[in-house]
């Protein structure tokens, strides 16, 4: 059974996390079609968003591809989910949250420091916790240039600049969280 067929046998978020642990590595395919594992050097210059077929074929993805894979699963299970990105001038991370039984869950695989499924009573607490974790992980002291946004999908083959341009047209949700 190939990876794609195996993926479509998954029935629970826990099975998805196990699948990703076994078969999906942190890495990316550059514009030059070179596969890079656990290496973000030259990412801004050479990155392109892999298609889901490439993720299945090579078993790799950075946070953007991994969130796309997670979204595919949660959509197939008819579970409400949302994709988010948090970034500043130097760092970026994408993550997915889903809703189940009136609770919110952060599904994290790309960041090995915080891999897992985390339960929250509401979306705001989840997002605030993720902002805090992002700042702690990357030793960010000021939230002055920090952006949190919700996005739908990133098109396959989009490069870093195209993703940045897409994000620049999204609303920064930090001001909403500040009022809560």
pLDDT band at 178 (very low <50, low <70, confident <90, very high): low
- Statement: residue 179 has pLDDT above 70: no
pLDDT of amino acid 1: 83
CB 97 within 8 A of CB 117: no
Give the integer Cα–Cα distance in Å for 144 and 147: 9
Give the integer Cα–Cα distance in Å for 136 and 77: 33
For 12-31, what is each residue's pLDDT tens digit?
999 999 999 999 999 999 99
Give the integer Cα–Cα distance in Å for 58 and 166: 26
For 33-91, what is each residue's pLDDT tens digit?
999 987 777 788 899 999 999 999 999 999 999 999 999 999 999 999 999 999 987 78
H-assigned helices in 24-173: 43-46, 52-58, 63-76, 123-137, 160-168
- Looking at the chain, how many residues does it have? 180
> How many domains are contained in the chain?
1
- Phi and psi at 111, nearest 5°, equal -95, 105
96 forms bridges with which residues in the sheet? 83, 107
Summary mean pLDDT of the chain? 92
Domain range enclosing 30: 3-178
Arithmetic mean of pLDDT, 114-120 = 96
- Statement: residue 176 has pLDDT above 80: no
pTM, two decimals, is: 0.94
Arithmetic mean of pLDDT, 144-150 = 90
């Amino acid at each position: 059974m190939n990876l794609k067929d195996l993926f479509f046998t998954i029935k629970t978020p826990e099975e998805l996390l196990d699948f990703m642990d076994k078969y999906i590595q942190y890495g990316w395919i550059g514009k030059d079609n070179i596969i890079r594992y656990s290496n973000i050097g030259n990412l801004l210059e050479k990155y392109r968003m892999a298609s889901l077929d490439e993720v299945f074929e090579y078993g790799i993805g950075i946070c953007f591809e991994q969130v796309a894979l997670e979204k595919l699963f949660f959509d197939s299970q008819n579970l409400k989910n949302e994709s988010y990105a948090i970034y500043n001038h130097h760092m970026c991370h994408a993550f997915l949250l889903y809703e189940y039984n009136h609770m919110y869950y952060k599904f994290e695989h790309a960041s090995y420091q915080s891999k897992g499924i985390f339960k929250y009573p509401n979306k705001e607490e989840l997002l605030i916790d993720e902002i805090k974790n992002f700042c702690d992980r990357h030793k960010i002291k000021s939230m002055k240039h920090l952006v949190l946004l919700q996005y739908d999908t990133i098109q396959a083959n989009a490069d870093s600049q195209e993703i940045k341009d897409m994000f620049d047209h999204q609303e920064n949700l930090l001001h909403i969280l500040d009022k809560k």
